[in-house]
């Protein structure tokens, strides 16, 4: 089965999805890492992301490998975030990446995290959660993670939020049947417990 966790940058998706996957014994899928790989390589090679996406060999696990190269850290820089968000707005890139993601989650038990898991990648997901938090809270968490300035992160986040929610193809939007969970003011353990309870209810 698939547990879909979607939401904007900094809502806590990665931490929550990883923890829920661990708790349930499911495998974690970081769909954003794939857009990050495409964005990074397109930027490095100065090529259109749509050309890069279909031929890139992405391996997700403990480390993220792109054509065999370890890019785990390289894909997390602010430049790579920006490149990912741009690449992800291209429908040809999304087609190539979504096709791979659908193949990945077709068998086994997954906690998949992203922007369009519940709407596009796995519309039949058994559980759909849309995680949100206030923009300030999201920027605070991300800045702490990166050791960066909160105001700069808030500005960059606003640009990405705007692009992710207004793009023509698969904009960031909650699936109609997703459970919306605002994590502002909740501890990580509280969020994990709520998601785990949703999964227990359908198992």
Interface residues toward ligand CDP, by CB under 6 A: 9, 14, 31-33, 35-36, 81, 84-85, 88, 114-116, 160, 164
Minimum distance, C-beta of residue 121 to ligand CDP, in the bound complex (Å):
7
Nearer Cβ to ligand CDP (37/200): 37
Minimum distance, C-beta of residue 62 to ligand CDP, in the bound complex (Å):
17
Minimum distance, C-beta of residue 196 to ligand CDP, in the bound complex (Å):
21
Q: Which two tokens stand for residue 20?
A: 């829920």
Rounded to 10 degrees, the C-alpha dihedral 146/150/152/157 comes to: 80
Q: Which two tokens stand for residue 118?
A: 């519940």
Nearer Cβ to ligand CDP (9/175): 9
Minimum distance, C-beta of residue 13 to ligand CDP, in the bound complex (Å):
6
Using CB atoms, what's the residue nearest to ligand CDP? Answer: 32
Nearer Cβ to ligand CDP (43/160): 160
Nearer Cβ to ligand CDP (180/200): 180
Nearer Cβ to ligand CDP (25/121): 121
Contact 45, 128 (CB under 8 A): no
Q: Provide φ and ψ at 112, rounded to 5°.
A: -110, 135
Minimum distance, C-beta of residue 45 to ligand CDP, in the bound complex (Å):
19
Residue 15, burial from CB neighbour count under 10 angstroms (0-12, 13-18, 19+): middle
- The residues, any chain, with a CB within 8 Å of residue 4's CB and separated by 6 or more, are 112, 117, 118, 121, 122, 125, 127, 128, 129, 175, 178
Minimum distance, C-beta of residue 146 to ligand CDP, in the bound complex (Å):
10
Distance CA(111)–CA(115), nearest Å, equals 13
Distance CA(194)–CA(166), nearest Å, equals 29
Distance CA(93)–CA(88), nearest Å, equals 6
Nearer Cβ to ligand CDP (165/200): 165
């Amino acid at each position: 089965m698939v547990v879909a966790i979607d939401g904007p940058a900094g809502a806590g998706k990665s931490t929550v999805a990883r923890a829920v996957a661990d708790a349930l014994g499911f495998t974690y899928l970081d769909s954003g890492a794939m857009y990050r790989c495409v964005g990074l390589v397109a930027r490095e090679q100065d090529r259109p992301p749509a050309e890069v996406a279909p031929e890139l060999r992405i391996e997700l696990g403990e480390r993220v490998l792109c054509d065999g190269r370890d890019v785990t850290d390289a894909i997390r820089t602010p430049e790579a975030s920006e490149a990912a968000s741009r690449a992800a707005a291209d429908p040809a890139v999304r087609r190539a990446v979504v096709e791979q993601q659908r193949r990945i989650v077709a068998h086994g038990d997954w906690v998949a995290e992203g922007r369009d898991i519940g709407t596009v990648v796995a519309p039949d997901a058994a559980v759909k959660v849309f995680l949100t938090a206030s923009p300030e809270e999201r920027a605070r968490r991300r800045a702490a993670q990166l050791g960066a300035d909160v105001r700069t992160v808030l500005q960059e986040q606003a640009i990405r939020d705007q692009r992710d929610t207004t793009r023509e193809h698969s904009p960031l939007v909650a699936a109609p049947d997703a459970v919306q969970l605002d994590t502002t003011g909740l501890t990580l353990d509280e969020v994990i417990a709520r998601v785990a309870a949703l999964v227990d209810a359908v198992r």
